[in-house]
Structure 1
Amino acid sequence: MHVLRRFLARVAGIAFAILVIATINFMLVHAAPGDPALVIAGQSGATDAKFIEQVRAEYGLDQPYLVQLGTYLGRVARGDLGYSHRQRRAVSDLILDRLGPTLLLMFSAFFLSLVGGVMFGAMAGRRHGKWSDLAISLVSLLLYATPVFWLGLMLVLVFSIQLEWLPAFGYTNIRAAGYGAFGYALDVAGHLILPAITLSAIYMAVYTRLMRSSLIEVSHEDHVRTARAKGLTEGAILRRHMLRNAAVPVVTFAGLQAGALIGGAVVVETVFAWPGLGRLTFDAVTARDYPVLLGLFLVTSMLVIAVNLLTDLIHRLIDPRVAAR
């Protein structure tokens, strides 16, 4: 019963958070300058006053603000995200078409940055004060200071243009449909490497420095000194007594960085022509496609919530004290 109550409380909290997020998104988009009716009318190819009034009446834009908000929240509760007049498609269909590539890129970058940050941070912390620690710290600092778009362009220049090892842009090769399932997966993986490295680099640098500091701090705790006094090797001490404790703040911080990870995907997808939600967001902003923007803001907010739930699960796996609560 205790576990069930905690689960129901978590579900209720998530539902409330989505309601608040949808409300704030609606307020922010409608606070932007300009008349949505003029935008819709312009996309339809007519701008006379009578047609604009018809558009306002058809989409409820002539209703009071609170009525519009209530109508929007009701549609969201039913899973209706609206209709894009610019692209002549339902917003949910547009988002579903782009959701898969974004999820693939985002979770690949999340996994790569987390695993790489823990691994390199552990190497630097274990060799504290040595040349390898200095080298890892210097590289992580350079990665943190490097703009994402510049790093992406340099990777394309080196690995795609100069060495011709990896594809530069896109999601698949134009001939990928005839490769078969395994060949198609390999083709997508080849196109994924450069965007995933670009998106994960800055976060890997942060996690590396955080893991290094955390490991150095854990190495001076009583249980580690006791393990050394018992004669355990340094490798066994690192695996059994240090890594899990030192990784806890890294995993916690990774969950907080989920929103920034999705925001960085907008830049990376634009640089690599990756057909995900980031490029769709960029196109919707430039075209002032309000229904698509509202749908994207809501879906990306839900992705942040999902990544935080995943982080909590990982946190419970590596820290038994959290799981026991």
Structure 2
Amino acid sequence: MKRAIQLIRRRAISSIPVLLVIVLLTFFLLESASGDAVDAYLVSIGGGDPSLVQSLRQSYGLDQSVIARLWLYLSSLARFDLGWSVAFDRPVLDLLIERLPNTLLLMGSATTLSFGLGSALGILAGARPGSLRDRLFSTVSLVLYAIPSFWLGLMLSIVFSVELRWLPTSGIETIASGRTGLARVADIATHLVLPVATLALIYLALFLRVMRAGMAEVWRLDFVLFARARGLSRARIVLRHVARNAVLPLVTMLGLRSAAMLGGSVVIESIFAIPGFGRLAQEAVSGRDAPLLMGIILVSAVLVILINLVIDTLYAWLDPRVGASETAS
């Protein structure tokens, strides 16, 4: 436990300059882009006179220098103030708090489902490498992983929502349903079936292939041959020896895919009209809302760092050799 706490502390401290670099790079990249929120607003209303443009730029603080705006933004961040959304005319923090739970629910459900089923199917495939079951699972996983997520989401929606009418087509819950308690939970779960299935099927295939490949490598190691020579049952060798050692690369892949799934949620949230984090980023880009986009990128970076911190801790718990050199110094 002490070693894990030291590892978390070291990684957390090292993430501070990473966040600072992300903030600076994002700020200057957005500054170098053509157009801003005022231009987007003028396009939406069909133009405006110079006095209106000057008034809007003054109210949004766009008439100041780049360094002045950077200093203002950094000083606001120090007070945990992410600024004001120009497109929504609301505080950025309020928008993020409103939208983020939907994306975390979508990502968490899809990640848990894909990791659990992918690991289990990978163990079944890797229990007998080269068998008919192994070839079947590997072929199906390759097909699933090759399917674009937007196409799979649309096909699932057409089949189960339009043709069969079993599931809702869009949204996170029924609008103005007035449901509370377990009824609302069931309604949200029903709306999440298709988007979660779309994400989970794609990443399930990846976890299956990684687990199967890891087990195929472990089968060749000497300690597995020794276990078989001792007369241990195949089920015990698979679960207690082969799968346990093959799960380490899978944990690493879990961290990478969890971070990538945050970006992949943009497509899924757009297809199923889920008011989540990814869709909010799309709206911020289309509205050229720099403060909102900065807040989204910053919170996304924090989430990625937290995910990798959890994965590093889990990896250190599974393999005591990981992080030993860091905590020893």
Tell me the TM-score normalised to structure 1 length.
0.91
Q: Contact conserved, 1:43 with 1:86, CA < 8 A, in 2?
A: no
- The equivalent of 1:169 in structure 2 is 170
Q: Whole-Å Cα distance in 1 between the matches of residues 197 and 231 of structure 2?
A: 40
Q: What is the correspondence of 1:102-251 to structure 2 with a 5 Å cutoff?
A: 102-174=103-175, 176-178=177-179, 180-251=180-251
Q: Residues 57 and 162 of structure 1: is their aligned pair in 2 closer, same or farther, counting only changes over 3 Å?
A: closer
Correspondence for 1:22: 23
Contact 1:44 1:85 in 2 (8 A): no
- Distance in 1 (CA, whole Å) between partners of 2:220 and 2:184 is 50
Matches for 1:286-301 after TM superposition, within 5 Å: 286-301=286-301
Measured in 1, the distance between the counterparts of 2:60 and 2:224 equals: 65
Task: Assess if the C-alpha contact under 8 Å between 1:84 and 1:292 holds in 2.
Answer: yes
Q: Distance in 1 between matches of 2:7 and 2:254?
A: 23
- The AA in structure 2 aligned to 1:114 is F
| Percent of aligned pairs sharing the same letter | 43
User: How far apart in 2 are the matches of 1:304 and 1:218?
Assistant: 30
Deviation per residue, 1:287-325 (Å, 9 max, x gap): 222221111111112111122122223323333333766
The match for 1:69 is: 70
- Cα separation, 2, equivalents of 1:227 and 1:209: 25
Size of the alignment, in residue pairs?
Answer: 324
- Cα distance between partner residues in 2 of 1:119 and 1:128: 15
Cα gap change, 1:308 to 1:41, in 2 (>3 Å)? same
Unaligned stretches of 5+ residues in structure 1: none
> Which stretch shifts more, 34-43 or 301-310?
34-43
Query: Unmatched 5+ residue regions in structure 2?
Result: none
User: How do 1:66-105 and structure 2 match up within 5 A?
Assistant: 66-105=67-106
Aligned match of 1:273: 273
- The residue that corresponds to 1:10 in the other structure is 11
Q: What code does the residue aligned with 1:223 have?
A: F
How far the C-alpha of 1:65 sits from its partner, in A, is 2.0
Could you give the per-residue CA deviations for residues 47-103 of structure 1, whole angstroms, max 9, x where no partner exists?
332343344444443333223222212212211111123222111111111111001
Shift of 1:187: 1.5
Give the partner amino acid of 1:147: P
C-alpha displacement of 1:241: 0.9
- TM-superposed CA distance for 1:143, in Å, is 0.9
Give the secondary structure class of the aligned counterpart of 1:79.
Answer: coil
Structure 1 position 169, deviation (Å): 1.3
User: 1:257 aligns to what SS in structure 2?
Assistant: helix
Aligned to 2:309: 309
For 2:53, the equivalent position in structure 1 comes to 52
Could you tell me how far 1:206 is from its partner in structure 2?
A: 1.5
Q: CA deviation at 1:46?
A: 7.5
Cα shift at 1:176:
4.4
Query: What's the TM-score once normalised by structure 2's chain length?
Result: 0.90
Which whole-Å CA distance do the structure 2 matches of 1:285 and 1:292 have between them?
9
The 2-side partners of 1:76 and 1:68 are apart by: 12
Partner residue, 2:285: 285
Distance 1:87 1:114 in 2: 36
CA contact (8 A) 2:114 2:204 kept: yes
Q: Distance in 2 between the 1:267 and 1:302 partners?
A: 21
- Whole-angstrom distance in 1 between the partners of 2:178 and 2:301: 32
1:319 is aligned to: 319
Q: Which moved more, 1:129-138 or 1:48-57?
A: 48-57
SS at match of 1:34: coil
Residues 115, 254 of structure 2: 8 Å contact kept: yes
Describe the SS at the equivalent of 1:170: coil
CA RMSD across the alignment: 2.3
Quote the residue 1:33 is aligned against: 34
| Partner SS for 1:251 | helix
* CA spacing shift, 1:2–1:134, aligned 2, 3 Å: closer
| Cα distance change of structure 1 residues 11 and 197 upon mapping to structure 2, 3 Å threshold | same
